[in-house]
Amino acid sequence: MKYNCTWFYRAVLVFIGGVMLSSCAGEYHDEMYNDPEGIEVGLCLGSDRTRTSMLSNGLSTEWLPGDKIAVWAMNSAGTYQLSNQLFELYGLEVGRGFFTSTLSSAMPEGTYTYYCSYPSPLSVNGTQATFAVPAVQDGKVSGGADVMVAYPVQHGPLTAIPDPDDHSGMSMSMNRILHQFRFYIPQSNSALGTAKITKMELNFPSEVCGNIVVDLADPAKSVSLAEAQKTITLDLAQPLAKSTESQGVYKFACVSLVPTKFADGQSLSIRAYTDDMIARIDPINLKAKNCLAGHSTPVILNIKELVEFPYVIKFTLTDNKVGENVTSVKFIAPSGCKWPSTGTNEYVYNPGKDIPVGSTIVCRFADYEDYAAFSNQSITIELETENTISTSTALIAAIPSGVDKHTSEISASVPYLLYQDFSSISTYSDGHDNPSVGAGSDTYKGITELSSAGLAGWYGTRIGVQGGASARICCRYEDVLGVSAYYKGRLYTPPMSRIKGGSDVSVQVSFKHGSNRNEMKTVINWQYKAPDKSPILYFGINTQDEVTNPDKNEGNIIDSITGMISGSGFSNPTPTSLMPMIIKGEYLDKENGSYTNLPKSMTMTISGVDRDTRFGWILTTDNSQGSVNANYWFYIDEIKVQIVK
């Protein structure tokens, strides 16, 4: 015997001998494995009328994978052996759904009174269960919008699901608690054309949604309604197109509402929308309609015309330097603003594909009041890629009062993971980037957070900035009577905090640079210029600990690179406490570098970069001459970091 059925595999179920899965035939085994952590039991719900999602024909329904029902089992002593126990859909057979749950132990023998509901209620007091009839539904009355309660059944303890060919286990029959309206657009309607309705706002003359109280012991009893509302929004999971009655094909959008009786002359007002137009519909006369539980009413939508939305906020992605394509955009407006698609101050645009530069996102408003709430408001914009989130703000300009049509335009771009060209930075010195090379001494080893220079999150030692030009790092060498000391200069970037937690990426780091020096050797009164010695640059990766921990502020880098210098450069120097991962070390040429003369550039690709990574530059020298004071400078500008694939 064949069955038109579908079985949905759940990993928690283990059958002796295995289970064969098929889209058109199912097979159960008589014995079920009892997991040490619990016992699997099952039950059956029958009837086509008691499934959770309306099909597009508006008449047939279906259970969906992941659907859960709640079950209570009261023993002969009046206590619950099961209380709001969730059972999940396991399989379908024509007219029936099979549900299973894991119990901590087998149910004792005896006769139980079973109660059942879909969905699980918000709360239960005795047999009085409270359910939510949502004010936002999907047009398929799924996701708990179709409240159902089973008629009580007396039965023994629940056991494993039997073979569907010989069903002898417990079966229950659900009772629909709500009424449904089935909206359809006739074939003869010419105004809609090939467009489809994506959203409907239904304004009823009396309360039709909210919290209802149902008696689990008597599901036919009338329900009570609290926290009631008159408006239901349908965000259609399946956009509604015209029906083709001539071929017997109807397409419906359905809504669940609390059973009610409308008065003669009352009407239903509907605002409907396509992706980019407003569909105007005349109010629908409800004709003293008595909306009974478990019944449905077909409703014709007569669309008169499609008109443009009068008010628009248009966003444009103007640039992207981060190295990955944008995949979603989140807009966060101040409290009191409501985006049309969500009804809240937050809206996420996620098209399921890349959003290239030049793309536009359009938010359309039907009402001036909703649109005008955005006037002079700053919008936070989060641009998400595979591995990063970038945040910026955009100001919506003042919106004129009383206009019939208006568009506001905003934009944003995705910057480099890090970019600094010092063009907006003020002139700054920490006081140690150009000490005297005469008889004076400067033994500074401290580190400074550079917010006062306009470089929030940056740290440095012996740092100078020329406003609008570039920055420099200074290294100091001193030798007095054969006692030498090195005072290194350092610069550390902020962490790459725009990288998502748990992600690590490969990046390309590039910058322009130049170098210079000023050395003096004493014979009598510091009067001779010393022989030129080159500064040595280290570039690498740091974390916050190496940057700010006082115990790691100094160390003799020269000791760590002994014997590793080769020609004009070297590679793979030993990590130090100042820089645990050195990417590159290089002798800098003897050039006439300055804040405005940075003739060279450097580019490196670095892998394993995460949100805590900082990049750092350390400047030192291998000068070991006696009786010399010297300053060495490294000038840097146009620092860029972006992801590479």
Mean pLDDT of the chain: 83
Query: Based on the domain organization, do 361 and 425 belong to the same domain?
Result: no
Q: List the beta bridge partners of residue 639.
A: 420
**Does any domain span residue 472?**
yes
pLDDT of residue 624: 74
Read off φ and ψ for residue 367, nearest 5 degrees.
-115, 135
Q: How confident is the model at residue 532 (pLDDT cuts 50, 70, 90)?
A: low
Does residue 640 surpass a pLDDT of 70? Answer: yes
pLDDT, tens digit, for every residue of 194-230? Answer: 999 999 999 999 999 999 999 999 998 989 999 999 9
pLDDT of residue 628: 79
Query: Based on the domain organization, do 243 and 370 belong to the same domain?
Result: no
Q: Over range 74-79, report the average pLDDT.
A: 94
Q: Please report, for the domain that includes residue 192, its CATH number.
A: 2.60.40.2630
Q: Can you say how many angstroms the Cα of residue 496 is from the centroid of all Cα atoms in its chain?
A: 19
Integer CA distances (angstroms), 522 to 440, 516, 517, 530, in order: 12, 20, 17, 8
**Does any domain span residue 140?**
no
Contacts with 574 (C-beta within 8 Å, 6 or more apart), sequence order: 560, 561, 564, 582
Query: Based on the domain organization, do 430 and 557 belong to the same domain?
Result: yes
- Rounded Cα distance, 372 and 376, in Å: 9
Instruction: Give the range with max mean pLDDT: 156-160, 461-465, 483-487.
Output: 461-465
Least confident window among 172-186, 250-264, 565-579: 565-579
pLDDT of residue 184: 95
Query: Based on the domain organization, do 352 and 480 belong to the same domain?
Result: no
**Does any domain span residue 135?**
no
Q: Which two tokens stand for residue 56?
A: 């597009």
Q: Over range 429-457, report the average pLDDT.
A: 87
Which residue range is the domain that position 622 belongs to? 419-643
Three-class SS of residue 51? coil
Query: Based on the domain organization, do 26 and 164 belong to the same domain?
Result: yes
Which of 363, 381, 415 is the last residue in one of the domains?
415
**Does any domain span residue 137?**
no
Least confident window among 61-65, 352-356, 582-586: 582-586
Q: How confident is the model at residue 571 (pLDDT cuts 50, 70, 90)?
A: very low
Query: Based on the domain organization, do 186 and 260 belong to the same domain?
Result: yes
Element (H, E) at 88: strand 80-93
| Count of domains forming the chain | 4
pLDDT of residue 195: 95
Q: Over range 64-69, report the average pLDDT.
A: 86
Which of 415, 434, 467 is the last residue in one of the domains?
415
Query: Based on the domain organization, do 379 and 433 belong to the same domain?
Result: no
**Does any domain span residue 26?**
yes
Q: Please report, for the domain that includes residue 23, its CATH number.
A: 2.60.40
Which of 308, 339, 362 is the last residue in one of the domains?
308
Q: Over range 606-634, report the average pLDDT.
A: 87
Q: Which two tokens stand for residue 484?
A: 């030498």
Query: Based on the domain organization, do 38 and 164 belong to the same domain?
Result: yes
Does residue 8 surpass a pLDDT of 70? Answer: no
C-beta contacts of 558-565 below 8 A and 24+ residues apart: 558/486, 558/620, 558/622, 561/536, 561/585, 565/622
The 3-state secondary structure of 308-373, one letter per residue: ECCEEEEEEEEEECCCCCECEEEEECCCCCCCCCCCCCEEEECCCCCECCCCEEEEEECCHHHHHC
Give the DSSP letter string of 421-450: --TTPPPEE-S-SS--SSS--------EEG
pLDDT of residue 351: 94
**Does any domain span residue 355?**
yes
pLDDT, tens digit, for every residue of 349-406? Answer: 999 999 999 999 999 999 999 999 999 999 999 999 999 999 999 999 999 998 999 9
pLDDT of residue 559: 32
Query: Based on the domain organization, do 600 and 488 belong to the same domain?
Result: yes
Query: Based on the domain organization, do 518 and 627 belong to the same domain?
Result: yes
Least confident window among 307-316, 418-427, 512-521: 512-521
Q: How confident is the model at residue 552 (pLDDT cuts 50, 70, 90)?
A: very low
pLDDT of residue 53: 53
**Does any domain span residue 191?**
yes
Which one is predicted more confidently, 55 or 503? 503
**Does any domain span residue 139?**
no
pLDDT of residue 25: 28
Q: Enter the pTM of the model.
A: 0.72
pLDDT of residue 15: 24
Q: Over range 527-537, report the average pLDDT.
A: 64
Least confident window among 100-104, 501-505, 569-573, 591-595: 569-573
Query: Based on the domain organization, do 227 and 214 belong to the same domain?
Result: yes
Q: How confident is the model at residue 22 (pLDDT cuts 50, 70, 90)?
A: very low
Q: Over range 616-641, report the average pLDDT.
A: 88
pLDDT, tens digit, for every residue of 117-163? Answer: 999 999 999 999 999 999 999 999 888 888 999 999 999 998 866 55
Least confident window among 187-201, 414-428, 507-521, 569-583: 569-583
pLDDT of residue 17: 25
Query: Based on the domain organization, do 579 and 638 belong to the same domain?
Result: yes
